[in-house]
Amino acid sequence: MRKVFNQAKAILILLAIAALIAAAGQDKPSQESKPPASGQAEEQRERVGGTIASVGVDRMEIKRMDGSSMTVMVDDQTRYRQGQQEIQLEDLKAGDRVFVRGAANANKEFVATLVRRMTEEEIQRFQNMGERVFGEIISIDNSQIKVRSPRTGEKTVVVNDQTVMMKDGQPITLKDLKVGDRIFAAGKETGGQFVATRLMTGQFRGPGRRESNPEH
């Protein structure tokens, strides 16, 4: 049991990183950004992930996962981390993959409060994880879970006896899920169906801090 728990914990950390980066694809804050449409979650405007293109004394240019570019401003309140360690702005360089948390200021500039550089191990695990789906559950029909995401629309996730499911860091079963829950699933498209090997919901521990579910 201890071995299974440790494996589940490792999966949990990995999914946290991937989910946060995946969630970043929903929003595109920039100096030219417009106010979000009514009802859009605030947190969708506060996360971005990508690769650093350049670093300056008060800003960095980031190439996002969808190929677009944006400017991220930094100041003396911005924190920098890699794994469990604090780092400095001067430690960052072009080519680093980062996750940024921040918010738009009065001038509509996106100002980072936290910049997290991914470690090589995290990047490798993320690349090997396979396809990913996240969103809010809108229906559950036997082993099929239909979710909706502002970025990808509706998607059906199929679970089976091999799917590892977690909630708040603890193993669960399909009956523990309900409509309205937000989930993150990793798996593979097979025969026109997305079959999940791992699925998580609730709160989980990302690297270095407590994080909420992928769309929070």
Rg, C-alpha atoms of the chain: 18
Same fold, 28-121 and 126-211: yes
pLDDT bracket for residue 122 (50, 70, 90): confident
Q: Which residue has the higher pLDDT, 145 or 6?
A: 145
* Domain topology for 28-121: OB fold (Dihydrolipoamide Acetyltransferase, E2P) (2.40.50)
Q: What is the pLDDT of residues 64-102, one digit of tens each?
A: 866 789 999 999 999 999 988 999 999 999 999 998 999
pLDDT at 35: 41
Domain boundaries defined on the chain: 28-121, 126-211
- Write the burial class of residue 151 (CB in 10 Å: 0-12 exposed, 13-18 middle, 19+ buried): middle
Helix, strand and coil in the chain, % to nearest 5: 20, 45, 35
The mean per-residue pLDDT over the stretch 21-44 comes to: 40
Residue 38 has pLDDT above 80, yes or no: no
pLDDT bracket for residue 188 (50, 70, 90): confident
The mean per-residue pLDDT over the stretch 22-44 comes to: 39
Q: What is the mean pLDDT of the chain?
A: 76
pLDDT at 113: 94
DSSP letter at 216? -
Beta bridge partners of 89: none
- Name every residue whose Cβ is closer than 8 Å to that of residue 9 and which is 6 or more positions away in sequence: 169
In angstroms, rounded to a whole number, what is the distance separating the alpha carbons of residues 177 and 78?
37
Token pair of 205, please? 């521990």
SS3 label, residue 123: helix
Residue 25 has pLDDT above 50, yes or no: no
The DSSP code sequence of 41-87 is -GGGGSEEEEEEEEE-SSEEEEEETTS-EEEEE--TT-EEEETTEE-
CATH number of 126-211: 2.40.50.140
In angstroms, rounded to a whole number, what is the distance separating the alpha carbons of residues 68 and 33?
13
pLDDT at 112: 95
Residue 172 has pLDDT above 60, yes or no: yes
Residue 34 has pLDDT above 80, yes or no: no
